[in-house]
Every structure is written in C-alpha cells, then in structure tokens.
C-alpha cells in the first residue's frame, strides 16, 4: 500500500493499493456521518466491472448507500447531467450529510466533483478513479467541471476531494487504447519532473504495457506523488501547474482540429510531447539526440497512435488564442533535459509552424491509419 498526502489547507490522502476497491467501504465509512449516507455515481460499464466489490464492501462496512448511474462518455459531461444528478439527489433525500463517491474515469470524476461542489453549496466527495488517466491526473487536484457547446471544461469550480482511493487492478478491465492513452500522461510526468520514473518506464516497458500489478502500483504512486506536489505548491493555475501542460498546446489543438473524434486525449498529447521535443531541439535548448531518444520512448510506450490527417494550418487555427500568445509572445513548456522542463517565452511563430508541419510528416511514418 502506498499513501501520498496532498498538502493543502485541508490535506487529503491518496491511497494506492491493488485490491483496494474491495475494501472501499471501510474508507468511505470514515467520511460518512452517523446519520448520513454515501451516494455513488458511476456508469453502467464501470458498475458492471467494479460495482459489486465496492457495493459489497459498503454493505459489509455498514454504510448506508445509493448508486446513481450516469451515461457514459465525454458528451454527457454537461450541465444537463449535473442537473439530473442533483434532481435525483433530492429524490434520495440527500442533504449536507451525504457524501458523494465518484467511481469511474475522468468524466465521472469531473461531473461528480462538480455536482458535489454545487449541490446544497457543497458536499464532501471521495474519488475512486478507474482509468489510468483519472488515477494519475483528474482525480487529484480538485478541478471539477463540465463542457459547454463552445468548448471543454468551460464551467467548473475547484472542489478538493476528501480522499482518493486508487486500485491499480481496476485497470484490468480498461480497453487497451484507453490504457495506452493514460500511459502518455505517465511518461509526461517522467519527462517534466522525474528521471527515475522516466527510466523505469523505459526499463520496464514490457511489464508496464502488460499491466503488471507491482509495476502499476509503483508507476501510479510516482505520478500521484508528482501531481500532489504540483497541486500543493500551487493550488490555483499558474506557472508550476502549467508545466503539467507539457505537450498539451499541440495536443489540445489536434484534438479540437479533429473534433475530438480521431484521438483520445493521451494520444494527442503523445504527438504534442514529441512536437515539444522537436521544438526544443530546433531552438537549440535540447540536443537533437535527447529529443530523438525521448520521442522514441514516448512512441514505444503509446503506439499504435493514429496518424495526423489534418493540415498544420487547421491545427494552428485550433490552438487556443490564450495558449498561443500572452501579450503577443508565444510561450511553450519545453524539455531542457529528461526530468526537467522550462517555460520558454518569445518563440517565433514561424518556428512553431515549421515544427508542427514536421510532426504531421513524422506521424505519417510512425502512426497508423
């Protein structure tokens, strides 16, 4: 078992343990008041795989509880879903003594966290993430919210969970592509902040890819530790938290240019991180050799990746104007060496465009149909 504390004004722990979901009840009980209840939000898919162990353990621990299913998928990460959950909470007689439990991927976590933040001006929430993305990123840090038609995550609020419980074995049922997409965020942590994690992902690549439980526990704990550090140092978004956006300028633009249909988030970020390495090399802030080595490692961990079938201009148009320029100057999070990144300001637009063009060509050699 690994235990990592997020050191905020109200600190909370992230527990990482294989088999933890089957013991979730004893953790949940600690947070539910005597006369209160737990309301777990999940999806039909996640419930089919992991509902039984969690619900059994809640029963065994004597926790009064209800389960609310929400529809699966990013397109249901909406105000309408939050409203529907809130209406159903009323139906269950939920008041401030209710504790929400999010069992699922990032979508369930973000929606449940947001619903918890706004229902009766705030309920406690526990995060039980079941995708790699959620385990190492979205469940920690308290960012909650939903999408609008105009764009992703445009409505939201910071609402920290009371605890995060991570069971690496939950990944056993995760579709292969979702898992690989999560690995992209794992290697991101290595590149930005930890040589050790980076080296481990390289050395134990086969075990990581086949989801060896011991390996997963180590990898997840390392990522959680880094996310927790960054969040604690800087709860609201700014420079330190910004380094977590490594690979995301290009990644987000690519997702948006392809209407969020072609790439999973992590896949787009994989290309984005490769683009950032190239850009750093072009600017002579990273040796070409290291840039190539990092790119190869990213590919080996995350392939197959869909190739990029849109042109550079379209991707450029989809790069958010806020990201593209702060006061007319382009700035990027770029690697200095393995385990260290820097925010580079004043990057010439032409260099960025050339690099992105190069990545599109590179994706045609290394990506799949």
Ligand X SMILES: NC(=O)c1ccc[n+]([C@@H]2O[C@H](COP(=O)([O-])OP(=O)(O)OC[C@H]3O[C@@H](n4cnc5c(N)ncnc54)[C@H](O)[C@@H]3O)[C@@H](O)[C@H]2O)c1
* Nearer residue to ligand X within complex by CB, 33 or 73: 73
Q: Are 27 and 15 in contact (CB under 8 A)?
A: yes
Choosing from 55, 65, 77, 185, the catalytic residue is 185
Choosing from 23, 65, 143, 188, the catalytic residue is 143
Nearest CA to 244 out of 268, 269, 219, 220 is that of 269
| Three-class SS state of 305 | coil
Query: What are the helix and strand counts (H, E) for the chain?
Result: 16, 11
Q: Is 245 a catalytic residue?
A: yes
Q: Is 121 a catalytic residue?
A: yes
Q: Which residues in the 104-133 window bind ligand X by CB under 6 A?
A: 104-108, 110, 130-131, 133
Asked if 273 touches ligand X (CB under 6 A), the answer is: no
Burial of 239 (C-beta count, 10 Å sphere; 0-12/13-18/19+): exposed
The contact mask relative to ligand X for 71-90 (x = CB under 6 A, - = no) is -xxx--x-------------
Choosing from 9, 10, 121, 261, the catalytic residue is 121
Cα–Cα distances (Å) from 152 to 148, 175, 225, 248, 320, in that order, read 6, 23, 26, 14, 12
Choosing from 180, 188, 245, 297, the catalytic residue is 245
122: left (phi over 0), alpha (psi -120 to 50) or beta: left
| Three-class SS state of 106 | helix
Determine the size of the site formed for ligand X (CB under 6 A): 28
- Tokens representing 189 are 């942590």
Q: How far is the CB of 70 from ligand X (least distance, A)?
A: 10
Choosing from 77, 252, 278, 282, the catalytic residue is 252
Q: Is 265 a catalytic residue?
A: yes
CA angle 103, 105, 111 (to 5 degrees): 75
Q: How far is the CB of 369 from ligand X (least distance, A)?
A: 22
Q: Is 248 a catalytic residue?
A: yes
Distance (Å, whole) CA 156 – CA 144: 5
* Nearer residue to ligand X within complex by CB, 82 or 280: 82
Q: Which residue has the tokens 């235990």?
A: 3
* Nearer residue to ligand X within complex by CB, 107 or 186: 107
The contact mask relative to ligand X for 160-199 (x = CB under 6 A, - = no) is ----------x--xx---x---------------------
H-type helices in 61-97, by residue range? 79-91
Choosing from 77, 193, 209, 248, the catalytic residue is 248
Asked if 267 touches ligand X (CB under 6 A), the answer is: no
Asked if 255 touches ligand X (CB under 6 A), the answer is: no
Crossing angle of helices 265-282/248-257, nearest 10°? Answer: 130
Nearest CA to 331 out of 272, 249, 236 is that of 249
134: left (phi over 0), alpha (psi -120 to 50) or beta: alpha
Q: Is 147 a catalytic residue?
A: no
* Nearer residue to ligand X within complex by CB, 81 or 130: 130
Q: Is 207 a catalytic residue?
A: no
Can you tell me which of 28, 46, 128, 136 binds ligand X, judged by CB under 6 A? 46
Q: Is 252 a catalytic residue?
A: yes
Can you tell me which of 137, 202, 217, 222 binds ligand X, judged by CB under 6 A? 137
- Tokens representing 299 are 């590919």
CA angle 178, 368, 361 (to 5 degrees): 120
Asked if 234 touches ligand X (CB under 6 A), the answer is: no
Q: How far is the CB of 81 from ligand X (least distance, A)?
A: 12
Catalogue the active-site residues.
121, 143, 185, 227, 237, 241, 245, 248, 252, 265
In the complex, the residues that contact ligand X under the rule CB under 6 A are 43, 45-46, 49, 72-74, 77, 104-108, 110, 130-131, 133-134, 137-138, 141, 143, 152-153, 170, 173-174, 178
């Amino acid at each position: 078992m690994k235990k990592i504390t997020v050191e905020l004004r109200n600190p909370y722990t992230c527990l990482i343990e294989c088999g933890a979901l089957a013991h979730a009840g004893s953790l949940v009980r600690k947070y539910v008041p005597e006369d209160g209840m737990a309301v777990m939000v999940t999806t039909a898919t996640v419930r089919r795989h992991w509902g039984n162990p969690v619900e059994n353990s809640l029963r065994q621990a004597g926790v009064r509880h209800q389960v609310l299913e929400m529809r699966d998928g990013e397109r249901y990460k909406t105000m309408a879903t939050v409203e529907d959950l809130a209406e159903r909470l009323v139906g269950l007689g939920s008041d401030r003594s209710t504790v929400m439990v999010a069992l699922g991927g990032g979508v369930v976590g973000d929606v449940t966290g947001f619903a918890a933040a706004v229902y009766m001006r705030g309920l406690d929430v526990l995060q039980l993430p079941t995708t790699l993305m959620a385990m190492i990123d979205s469940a920690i840090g308290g960012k909650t919210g939903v999408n609008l038609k105009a764009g992703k995550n445009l409505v939201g609020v910071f609402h920290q969970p009371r605890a995060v419980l991570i069971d690496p074995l939950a990944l056993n049922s995760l579709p292969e592509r979702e898992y690989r997409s999560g690995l992209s965020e794992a290697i991101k942590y290595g590149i930005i902040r930890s040589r050790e994690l980076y080296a481990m992902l390289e050395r134990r690549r086969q075990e990581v890819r086949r989801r060896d439980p011991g390996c997963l526990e180590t990898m997840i704990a390392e990522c959680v530790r880094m996310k927790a550090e960054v969040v604690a140092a800087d709860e609201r978004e700014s420079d330190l938290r910004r380094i977590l956006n490594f690979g995301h300028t290009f990644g987000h633009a690519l997702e948006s240019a392809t209407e969020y249909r072609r790439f999973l988030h992590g896949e787009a970020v994989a290309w984005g991180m490769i683009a950032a390495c190239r850009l750093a090399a072009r600017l002579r802030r990273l040796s070409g050799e290291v840039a190539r080595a990092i790119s190869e490692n990213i590919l080996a961990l995350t392939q197959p990746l869909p190739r990029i079938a849109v042109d550079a201009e379209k991707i450029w148009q989809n790069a958010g104007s806020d990201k593209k320029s702060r006061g007319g100057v382009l700035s990027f999070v770029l690697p200095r060496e393995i385990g260290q990144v820097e925010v580079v300001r004043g990057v010439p637009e032409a260099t960025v465009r050339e690099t992105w063009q190069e990545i599109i060509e590179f994706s045609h050699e290394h990506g799949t149909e």
